[in-house]
Copies of this chain bind each other. A is one copy, B any other.
């Protein structure tokens, strides 16, 4: 009798070739924290045709999705630097996320939302879940893994976790670990969520989540993503459209922007996923690239105060110490950390050249 999961995997793989949003059902999963997920699901989408040796896995930043050309439109698509006319590009949603993959807002086996019962995750957990996804797609080697921001952590782990070999690893706007500023910003955001009475210890109903806490967390994030220089260039002290005069209502454009971004974020993101995805990133701490078998490129942006260029330089030293071929690109864009989303040219040409050689 044929394994029913195998059939499902074949079916997944077939439909994925058509570019549709898919869910891979990957069975039981044990987390590093001792948690047990009996029914792991990972959302994915593929773009382009698989030729046996052209698969590229994309590792998204904190709040990304499997729809890579959607959130990374400067980089991925037909004819773009990550050319879906040439490569078989696999987008996926991280384990712990809320955009199709199993996460704290998913239903546990008892039919109730996981909520506070969802296990704390590590970056390594999330990479193992990605490996299971690739196994289900019958992909036993990757041309490249490309990770941006905290997705860079996953890409770095791919270079060292060997069940599926990876020829090239591109890490952009990231580093070997988070520094004190990033830990601090994440903690302030998590506390905004966990101190919102609607969080209810993590067991809030899906129709009454801690929206205000999540909005504050997102505002803190956006301040950090842009950084002082980019905030100043984009907003300065510009007033918002209609003056509220002397009041606490938004009077400056930057105030309107933050409130808008914070509230809008609630439409697409879950507060508990925010806790889990920031927390797994906090714990990641790469000390060496010994054992890595990939070729690397590390890309930074000069204006990124969250993941400054010196972190790419540290990764470069690690790669060289590990005997890996590696290159570095520091790109002069004024958008702070957000440059990795906005810069198609400098970052794009560096990635295009790196993966095509």
Chain B residues, CB < 8 A from A185: 223
Chain B hits for A328, CB < 8 A = none
Q: Enumerate chain B residues within 8 angstroms of A195, measured Cβ to Cβ.
A: 212-213, 215-216
CB pair B282 A228 closer than 8 Å: no
Cβ contact of A258, chosen from B187, B228, B254, B262, cutoff 8 A: B187
Stretch at the interface among A131-139, A140-148, A244-252: A244-252
Q: Chain B's nearest CB lies how many Å from the CB of A271?
A: 12
Contact of A216 among B216, B232, B254, B285 (CB under 8 A): B216
A179 with B236, Cβ < 8 A, contacts A195-B216, A258-B187 known: yes
A255 to B183, CA, bound (A): 7
Cβ contacts under 8 Å, A181 to chain B: 223, 227-228, 231-232
Interface residues of A in 228-261 (CB under 8 A from B): 228, 231-232, 234-237, 245-248, 250-252, 254-255, 258-259
Residues of B within 8 A of A46 (CB): none
Q: If the complex has contacts A32-B246, A275-B248, are A236 and B180 also in contact, measured as CB distance less than 8 A?
A: yes
Q: Which residues from 149 to 207 on chain A have a C-beta closer than 8 Å to any C-beta of chain B? A: 177-181, 183-185, 187-188, 190-192, 194-197
Task: Please indicate which of the listed interface residues A219, A235, A248, A252 has the most CB atoms of chain B within 10 Å of its own CB.
Answer: A248
Find out whether the CB atom of A279 lies under 8 angstroms from the CB atom of B180: no
Which of these, B33, B223, B305, contacts A246 with CB under 8 Å? B33
A228 with B183, Cβ < 8 A, contacts A120-B248, A219-B191 known: no
- CB proximity of A294 to chain B, nearest CB, Å: 25
Cβ contact of A188, chosen from B187, B196, B223, B245, cutoff 8 A: B223
Contact of B197 with A197 in the complex, beta carbons under 8 Å = yes
Q: How far is the CB of A5 from chain B (nearest CB, A)?
A: 29
> Contact check: which of B184, B219, B235, B262 meets A231 at CB < 8 Å?
B184
- Tell me, in angstroms, the Cα distance from A187 to B256 when the chains sit together: 9
CB-based nearest B residue for A247: B120
Q: Chain B residues near A318: list those with CB within 8 A.
A: none
Cα distance, A232 to B279, chains bound together (Å): 19
**CA–CA, A212 to B216, complex, Å?**
12
Contact B183 A262 (CB under 8 A): no
CA gap between A212 and B251 in the complex, in Å: 25
Which of A195, A246, A247, A250 has most chain B Cβ within 10 Å?
A: A246
A235→B185 CA distance, assembly (Å): 13
| Other A-B pairs beyond A33-B246, A191-B219, 8, CB < 8 Å | A179-B231, A179-B237, A181-B231, A183-B254, A188-B223, A194-B248, A228-B305, A252-B282
**14 A-B pairs (CB sep. < 8 Å):** A177-B237, A179-B237, A180-B235, A180-B252, A183-B235, A183-B237, A185-B223, A187-B219, A187-B254, A187-B255, A188-B216, A190-B248, A192-B192, A197-B197
